[in-house]
Amino acid sequence: MGTNACGLDRTLRVVIGAALIGWGIYAQSWWGAIGIIPLLTGIVGVCPAYKLLGISTCKVKQQ
| Span 22-53, pLDDT tens digits | 999 999 999 999 999 999 999 999 999 998 99
- Alpha-carbon gap, residue 6 to 52, rounded angstroms: 17
In this structure, are residues 42 and 11 in contact, taking their beta carbons and an 8 Å threshold?
A: yes
Confidence of residue 16 (pLDDT cuts 50, 70, 90): very high
If one compares 62 and 21, the residue with the highest pLDDT of the two is 21
Mean pLDDT to the nearest integer, 52-63 = 79
Please name the amino acid found at residue 38: P
**How is 37-53 classified by DSSP, letter by letter?**
HHHHHHHH---HHHHHH
Residue 1: pLDDT above 90?
Answer: no
Domain boundary assignment for the chain: 1-44
Q: Give the model's pLDDT for residue 63.
A: 58
